[in-house]
Amino acid sequence: MSSDAFDMTLLVEVDLKEIILNEGTLQNSHIKKLLLQYKETVLTTIISQFGLGPIFDSYKNGGNVTTLHNAEKGIFANKADEDQYTEAFDRGNYEKDFPKKRKLNFQTSIEITDDYTGKVLKKDGTTHLDHVISAKAIHSNNGARLYMNAEQRDEMATSERNLAWTDSSLNQSKNDKDLEQWMDRENKRSPGKTNAQHYEINREAAVKKNIEACKVDRKESRNKIFCIQLGVYRGGPRSAIRAETGSGYVHL
């Protein structure tokens, strides 16, 4: 049990005992105060876990904020939100550091292992870096473009956990597809065989890498939110996260 959950449980137990002891004299105002206290505690826990502070503060302070619902209808609170949301996908923005990463790995590694097959790769142009969750999938996600700026999206796409060393042929075949879905598709060069069979993929290692790309903790809560939206996150329900605020819901 997390410390937040433990604190909540303790508070509930103490206040319930107080209610029982004072059942005869408990007034309406006390009940309202108690409910308000728990509402604030729950909100604080949600906001801290999912990084919703800026959004919540904007609502709380009466500020104008672009909701995802409005953005999808082309309605924006300001020009900055509109420009960020409508930014066109440019693969180069998500791969600008790839040459440097490849060169460094070639120079410092005794051997480079394919993250999907386990095979040893050559230190030449046939060895590629692949976005496990494709950069296009991240950029194409409406929530990602609205709530994350270009630098944050790039950081998510190029984090070490979302990068895999692999063979150029495999990488070009996978392209922007979901890894697990792509593995199960029939390979164009080998009729009757799946891509996993054709490229001799270690399914357990590949699936683990796919999950690792969305493994999160509190500091990386945005990853969890968008991995859920992309249908990749395996650690919870496949649904968007809603954060309750005093003025309604913020849909991510």
How many CB atoms are located within 10 Å of the residue 143 CB? 21
pLDDT reported for residue 3: 46
Taking residues 14-29, what's their average pLDDT? 53
Please say if the pLDDT value at position 1 is more than 70.
Answer: no
**Do 127 and 186 have their domain in common?**
yes
Q: Given a cut of 80, is residue 178 above it in pLDDT?
A: yes
> What total of structural domains would you count in the chain?
2
In a domain, 61, yes or no: no
The DSSP letter of residue 73 is T
* Residue 183 within any structural domain of the chain: yes
Q: Which of the two residues, 240 and 82, has the higher pLDDT score?
A: 82
Same domain, 29 and 91: no
Q: What is the mean pLDDT of residues 162-180?
A: 95
Residue 60 maps to a domain: no
**In a shared domain, residues 106 and 10:** no
Going by their DSSP bridges, the two strands 248-251 and 242-245 should be labelled as antiparallel
Q: In this structure, are 40 and 77 located in the same domain?
A: no
The highest-confidence range among 7-16, 108-117, 139-148, by mean pLDDT, is 108-117
Phi and psi (nearest 5°) for 113?
A: -105, 135
Portion of the chain with pLDDT greater than 70, in percent: 60
Domain-embedded: residue 107: yes
**62 or 160: whose pLDDT is higher?**
160
State the alpha helices, DSSP H only, in the chain: 3-21, 28-50, 53-60, 68-71, 79-85, 91-95, 98-108, 135-140, 142-147, 150-157, 168-174, 179-184, 195-198, 203-212, 221-229
Domain co-membership, 154 together with 220: yes
C-beta of residue 205 within 8 angstroms of C-beta of residue 116: yes
Alpha carbon of 165 to those of 70, 93, 170: distances in Å? 39, 19, 10
Q: What is the pTM of this model?
A: 0.64
190-248 confidence digits (pLDDT tens): 999 999 999 999 999 999 998 888 764 334 444 444 554 454 443 333 333 332 233 22
Asked if residue 157 is part of any domain, the answer here is: yes
8 Å CB contact between 114 and 128: no
- Residue 56 inside a domain? The answer is no
Bigger pLDDT: 13 vs 101: 101
- Indicate whether 185 belongs to any domain: yes
pLDDT tens sequence across 45-72:
555 555 555 555 555 544 577 888 888 8
> 57 lies in a domain?
no
pLDDT score at 251: 31
**Statement to judge: residues 80 and 19 lie in one domain:** no
Residue 8: give the domain boundaries.
3-50
In this structure, the answer to whether residues 33 and 141 fall within a common structural domain is no
On average, the pLDDT of the chain sits at 74
Residue 121 has pLDDT above 90, yes or no: yes
CA angle 108, 112, 115 (to 5 degrees): 135
